Amino acid sequence: MAVKVFVILLFIWTIIRVAYSLWFSLPKINISHEERPKQKASNQGSANSKHSHDEEEYDDGSSNVVTDQSIKKIIQRTLYNKIEQKERERIQNKPMISFAWEKPTFNVAILDPNVNQKITIDENFFVEKSRWLQDKLMEFNVPISIEWFDVWPSIVQIRIKPEEWIKISTIEWLANDIALSLKSKSLRIVAPIPGTDNIWIQLPNPKPAMVKLWDVIASNEFNQEMKKSDNNLALWKSIDGSVVIKTLDGMPHLLVAWATWSGKSVWVNDFILSLMYQNTPSELKFLMVDPKQVELELYSWLPYLLAPIVSEPEKALKLLRRTEAEMERRFWMLKDKRVKNIDEYNHKIIAEKMFRIVFVVDELASLMMHKNKKEVEKCITHISAKARAVWIHLIIATQRPSVDVITWLIKANIPTRIAFWVVSEIDSRTIIGRKWAETLLWKWDMLYTDPNTKAPIRIQAPYVSTEEIEKVVEALRNKYMWWLTEEDIYNQEIVALLESKVESWEALFSWWWSVDDDELVEQAIQVIMQTRKASATLLQRKLNLWFARAARIMDTLEDRGVIWPQDGAKPRDIFI
């Protein structure tokens, strides 16, 4: 009891200290209780007496009655006015960034152009592969005819036509035998080709051609799409060499998974540079989480960033919560202006246009392996479910495509996904819900799927070197940052939030609430030792607790090593 009294006094002292630090004083409150008016002096007189008749005087001795509710309203209004005044002063004193509004924002000549080399393959290569393929399938009584050959930058495609009585599944089951006969390190069967009665047999190109970022950004397709939208992600080339263009609004969030050294980091840089190429810093802002501290660090000190690049899981969670709050604030503003999305808002409120926010997470596994896994999953799910209309987008990447990282809630709310080469078919199904990602080539080869595609599209990601990224970043800094400081480009509210040690009042007094929980934890251990069972429902019945508190006690026992973490429907292992 004494501890609780001490904490309450400490809490009151903290509130007084915070109020004092705001440097405001409560206004003098003169709320008079209405008394019986004095007797009018006289009905005789001029217009002055008539005017005094309208303005009644009260006794000087009238009592002042001030309710707690009125004081609360006055304090709240004073605090609000003080904060609003500081915000206006901050905006007025903050130097305006003089953006050059011409687009694109940097010259594409900064990027290294690709030397267009014509892809030529010896004709004997196709003749030999065709003969081996027909011979192998005839061994299993599967006659086919060779229809055509397609030579693409990264693969060679053999188009075959089976007999009418041949089942497609028969050829798919023979994939390993076909790869053995063709001496191919990778093989993918696309059956059937949409709109035809043919089947594709995809093999690695013996002379692959590299696609560079310059090839895509300088293409006519990309420039034409820029006239329609400024959030195009045309950073891919299909295996037939054509540019694949997707808009960020159509996604509106993206999940990328891969195995190590399969080209994911290069693609993330492609994505970031393409959006910077189409938007000025007043139209686009990034929030970046880079647990490895080396992948996204090149973009530091750019006006495109709302906050410094975050690497710690605790700060990443704060950033997710802040993004969640910004999403709700934007929805409130849309409701206030009676519009449905940011496009309508920016057309209606020209003076206060909102910018697009893109939240990039380079490694989701580092966040999901932290103790706040449930909070991270909740924030990602909430944002991905609602944020499309308010121009907030998530780009989440991970090199651990397992179900404990890419949970079913995250997958359900992010249907647009990209799979690079992975180790096993299980990983492929975890990412895109089907196999074939394990048959991709090692680098920059990927499968893209979204709600509008019935089957994954095989795409080759363009390559961009670190030197090219440094050139682009240097050009953007010279254009926008030549007289600005870190305080000018970053949102100082977010910076203060990241540097604060207290996440919430609940976290501040979490040790207080844990005082009573310690006794319950000891009682829970006794219950588990007696029953040799461990579950939240058991503690709920035995200790007469609410389920939420019983579940929290189970988490505490798990952290102390008393019980093993939950493994599906199996009973927990007990170590005492």
pLDDT digits (tens, 9 = 90+) for 140-195: 999 999 988 888 778 888 899 998 888 988 998 999 999 999 988 888 888 888 78
- The pLDDT score that the predictor gives to residue 53 is 41
Residue 141 to residue 129: CA distance in whole angstroms: 18
DSSP 31-64: -BPP-PPPPPS-S-S-HHHHHHHHS----TTPPB
Calculate the CA 13 to chain-centre distance.
Answer: 39
Cβ atoms within 10 Å, residue 299:
22
The pLDDT score that the predictor gives to residue 111 is 87
Residue 31 pLDDT greater than 70, yes or no: no
Which of 126-135, 200-209, 341-350 reaches the highest mean pLDDT?
A: 126-135
% of the chain residues with pLDDT over 90: 21
Q: What is the mean pLDDT of residues 228-238?
A: 75
**CATH 3.30.980.40 residue spans of the chain:** 123-204
In terms of DSSP bridges, do strands 356-361 and 284-289 run parallel, antiparallel, or are they unpaired?
A: parallel
The string over 67-77, giving b where at least 16 C-beta atoms fall within 10 Å of a residue's C-beta and e elsewhere, is: eeeeeeeeeee
Task: Report the pLDDT averaged over residues 318-335.
Answer: 91
Q: Read out DSSP for 185-212?
A: S--EEE-SPTTSS-EEEEEE-SS----B
Cα 393 to Cα 397: distance, rounded to the nearest angstrom: 13
CATH 1.10.10 residue ranges for the chain = 509-559
Per-residue pLDDT, 323: 93
> From CA 146, how far away is CA 158, in angstroms rounded?
7
Indicate the CATH number of 252-495 among 3.40.50.2300, 3.90.550.10, 3.40.640.10, 3.40.50.300: 3.40.50.300
Q: Residue 410: pLDDT band by 50, 70, 90 thresholds? A: very high
Evaluate whether 201 touches 152 at the Cβ level (below 8 Å): no
Q: Is the pLDDT of residue 38 over 90?
A: no
> Contact 368/376 with Cβ under 8 angstroms?
yes
Q: 232 and 224 in contact (C-beta within 8 Å)?
A: no
pLDDT band for position 119 (cuts 50, 70, 90)? low
pLDDT more than 70, % of the chain: 78
Q: What is the pTM of this model?
A: 0.69
Nearest to 462 by CA among 446, 473, 441: 446
The first and second tokens of residue 484, run together, are 């600005």
- For domain 509-559, the question of CATH label 1.10.150 is answered with no
Residue 295 has a CB neighbour count (10 Å cut-off) of: 19
Whether the Cβ atoms of residue 462 and residue 235 lie closer than 8 Å to each other: yes
pLDDT at 394: 95
- Specify the domain boundaries for CATH 3.40.50.300 within the chain: 252-495
Q: Answer yes or no: is pLDDT of 84 > 80.
A: no
Measured CA to CA in angstroms, residue 498 lies from 22, 123, 353 at distances of 21, 61, 26
467 burial via Cβ count (<10 Å: 0-12, 13-18, 19+): exposed
Distance CA 492, CA 565 (A): 40
pLDDT bucket at 255, cuts 50 / 70 / 90: very high
CATH level 2 (architecture), domain 123-204:
2-Layer Sandwich (3.30)
Confidence grade of residue 80 (pLDDT, cut at 50, 70, 90) = low
What is the reported pLDDT for 510? 43
pLDDT at 70 (0 to 100): 60
Nearest to 371 by CA among 328, 314, 451: 314
Task: Tell me how far apart the alpha carbons of residues 98 and 483 are, in angstroms, rounded to a whole number.
Answer: 10
Decide: helix, strand or coil at residue 97: coil
Does the pLDDT of residue 522 top 60, yes or no? yes
